[in-house]
Every structure is written in C-alpha cells, then in structure tokens.
Structure 1
Amino acid sequence: MSRAYCIPSVIILFCALVLSILVSISLPFFPAMDITRIRIPSGFVATGEEGITQYRFGIWSACYYDTHETRSCLKTGHGYEVALQNGAMNAGVIIGSSWTTGLAIHPVATAAIFVAFVLSFSSKAGVVLAATLTAFLAALLTLLAFAVDIALYAWVKHQVGLLPDVNEEVVTSPAFWMTFVSLLLVLGAGCTMFIGRKKERMAGATTYPAYSSSSKTSFWQRFKK
C-alpha cells in the first residue's frame, strides 16, 4: 500500500488506540474516565452514606462524591452492582451487574485496535489485508462497547427517575464520547486501508508492457537465412 494511504491509517489508528486505552483504564484508576454520571445538587442517600451529590459509573467500579467532594469507590471488579436510595422518602433502586458486565468489552476492543495498529505499518499486500479486516473487527467491537454504554446510560436514567423528589441529572461522561470518537477513527482507518489496497490493485491490473514493433520483426527474422 502506498505511503499516501499507509501513513494516514497509522496516525488515525494511533489516535483511536490512545483514546481506547484511556477509556479502558476507567474508574477507580482514572477518576475522569467514567461512562455515566448522576448529579444530585441536594444530595441523597447512596450505599448507606448521607449527602451524596454525584455518582460515577466506570468499567471496573462506581465512585460517589459527598458534599465535601470526597471520593469513595465500590470494590473494584467486573460486573459490579450499585444500590441507590432516597433516605427521606425511604425509596431505592438497584443498578444490577447485568448492566455493567458488558462494559468489559472495552479492553477487548482496545486489543483489536492495537493489533490493527501494528499490522498497519506493513506494506505487504497480505498484511495490509489482515490489518484492514482487523480494523473493521475492532470497529465492530467498539460499536458493541458503545451500545453497552448507551444501554447503561438509559437504564441509570430510568432507575434514578423512579426515585421520588430527587432533582437528579443523569449525563453522559468523557469516556462515553471518547468511545464514540474512537469508533469513528477506527472506521476511518479501515476505510482508508481498504481504498488504498483497492487502488493499488487497480493500478497493478492496468499496467501493461509497452508495445514494441521490433518483436514482430524479430519473429520474421527467424525465417530468413
């Protein structure tokens, strides 16, 4: 594949890889990389604590902030469960582990992007084909991860809405939109490599040896003595 298509695909995949790695680190290791947030200006009871003003849902854990901006996180693990309760009204809801288990697909998508990024450095036709297919596979995995993020956001918004007299605000977070950008980048890189490979094959197919009249002359000269 020509450098005109190889270099852009490498750069695009590198950007997508960086974004995907940051998202995969997530809470509690990277406080800013959460999927969905609950903002409660007035504060409410959550997991037995008073005055919770914010809740953040990450890939590996959920963290909440009190009125003093002190952060506390649940036990780190795959597929965690969160209980939210409005103490004043004695009402509560649960965000089950079934809605957070699927978030683990983010690291899988990151690994696929990394493989596509490594393969994209080669100019060999077979490796370029493998890189293209891997990039589209990574895009599919990232799309699935983004779908899980949307489902989590929608469910948290629905559950929090069941709590009475809570001035809540459920919003998407940086990791949510970074996943979306990463999806677009991986798709762009895959399309770039596909177009570059296709144009290279077309250029090779339309390249013919130059015609020379001397070839016909040399053939008849065989009969001359």
Structure 2
Amino acid sequence: MARMFCIPGIIFLFCAFILSILTSISLPFLPALDIARAHLNGNALINGDTVNQVRFGSTDRAACTYKNDDSRICTDANHGYSVPISDTNRDANVIISGSWTRGLAVHPVATAVTFIALLFSFSSHVTVTLVASILSFLAALLTLIAFAIDIALYAFLHHEVGKIPALQASTNPAPGFWLTFVSLILLLLAGCTVCFGRRRDRMAGASAYPSYPMSSTTKTPFWKRFRRN
C-alpha cells in the first residue's frame, strides 16, 4: 500500500481497536466505561437494596448499582442479565429484561474483527490489503449494530424509569456509549483509507509498464508497384 495511506489506516484501526476493547471490558472491571446509567436519587430498590444509581455494562454479563455511600454492587455474571427497579415503597416497578442486554455481546465480536483487520493492515501485499479493507468495513458494520443496540437500551431505560415518578430519575448515555460511536467513525475512515491505498498501488503498478505505440505502415498505391526505380 502507498505509504501515505498505509500509516493513517493502521493508526485509525489501532485507535478503534483500543477504544473497542476498553468498551468491551467495561463493567465490572472498568466502572467508568458503562453504556447507560440512571440516577435514581436514592429512591429506588434493586434486588432488595436502596440504590442511588444503576449502570449497564457493554457486555451481556454485568450491571452495577451504587448506594448513597458510593459502595458498589455488581450482578453475577450471566447471559442476558435482568435488572428489576422499583420505588422504595414498592408501589411501582419495572424490569430491564435480558432481551435488552443480551445483544450487548456484539461489542466483543466487533473488537475481535477489528483486531484481525489491524493485523492484515500491516501487510503490503495487494490481496491482503483488500482483505484488511473488507474486514474494516465488516468491523464497522458490527460496531454499528452494537451502537444501535446501545441506543435501544438507553431509550428503553429512559422510558421505563420514567414510569415511576417517585424515582425522580434521570438517564444519560455513559462514556462507553460515546467510545463506541468514535470507534465506528474510525473504522469507516480506516476502511476507506486502506481501500484508497490499494487503488493507488494498482495505479502505480500499471504505470510501471508503459505502453508502446503500435507501428503504423503506409500502404503503397497499386499503380506505384509497377513503376521502375
């Protein structure tokens, strides 16, 4: 690949991979990189505990609640976790079911494809760079799906906690939500950069073999063939 396209493409893929893997790790190991969070002002009951905040991780295996003293309780790892939320008087309750969190497992898959695309992008072989470009766009597609799932989870959380006025809840997209969006942009840029680099290489290869003009022959008129020299 042309060097002016090779280096930016690798940088875009590397940055996208780092952001994607951080988002995939998320809760409970990186508590600041959740996808969506709801501030409940200490008016909510979740799993029998009075909590001030609930955070949803970017995988399908963990959610964490925070009490007024900032102590944290995270759910046990399971596929597609559910979070029941009610007010302290148990007058109303809602459930963020596993059907809304199970799809978050797309994040690690997108991370894995991004890593493979990054490895392929180091090659200068034309065919390998084509594969790197395809993998970059595939990773972008998976990240787009993951981002759509994040949006759906945030919207559903906002809608459900709003059903309980006593919570006085406010919901926000968390840092992991925005890291996914930035990773999507970087993957699209990487795919285009790698593709343009491959096209530049093909054009450079074509110019290395100059075309030669075909020799032109002038036909001799019929009557001049019988003239004496």
User: With structure 2 as the length reference, what TM-score do the two structures score?
Assistant: 0.88
- Asked if residue 81 in structure 1 is aligned to residue 79 in structure 2, the reply is no
Alpha-carbon distance, 1:105 to partner: 0.5
1:151-194 CA-partner distances (Å, limit 9, x unpaired): 00011111101113221110000110000000000110000011
Equivalent residue number for residue 35 of structure 2: 35
- CA distances 1:5-26 after superposition (whole Å, capped 9, x unpaired): 1111111100000000101111
Aligned residues between the structures: 214
Are 2:54 and 1:55 aligned?
yes
- Using structure 1 for the length normalisation, give the TM-score: 0.90
2:225 corresponds in structure 1 to none
Q: 1:50-129 maps to which residues of 2 (within 5 A)?
A: 50=50, 52-58=51-57, 59=59, 60-88=61-89, 90-129=91-130
Q: 1:89 to 1:82 in 2, by over 3 A?
A: closer
CA contact (8 A) 1:128 1:197 kept: yes
CA distance in 2, matches of 1:5, 1:195: 7
**Any runs of at least 4 consecutive aligned residues in structure 1 with deviations exceeding 4 A, and if so which?**
none
| Cα offset, 1:43, TM superposition | 2.9
Residue 227 of structure 2 aligns with which residue? none
RMSD (CA atoms): 1.9
Which consecutive residues of structure 2, in runs of 5 or more, have no partner in the other structure?
217-229
Q: Structure 1 stretch 20-29 or stretch 38-47: which is displaced more?
A: 38-47
| SS of corresponding position for 2:167 | coil
Q: Shift of the alpha carbon at 1:87? A: 2.2
Matched letter for residue 56 of structure 1: R
Assess if the C-alpha contact under 8 Å between 2:42 and 2:68 holds in 1: no
- Look at both structures and tell me which one has the larger radius of gyration over its CA atoms: 2
Structure 1: 5+ residue stretches without partners: 217-225
What is the letter of the counterpart of residue 57 of structure 1? Answer: F
> Deviation of residue 41 (structure 1)?
2.4
- Counterpart CA distance in 2 for 1:209 and 1:8 is 30
Name the structure 1 match of 2:202.
Answer: 201
Q: CA deviation at 1:77?
A: 2.1
Residue matched to 1:181: 182
Q: CA deviation at 1:46?
A: 1.7
1:113 counterpart letter in structure 2: T
2:156 match: 155
Identity of matched residues, %: 52
1:153 and 1:180 mapped to 2: Cα distance? 14
Task: Give, as a single letter, the amino acid of the residue that structure 2 aligns with 1:79.
Answer: G
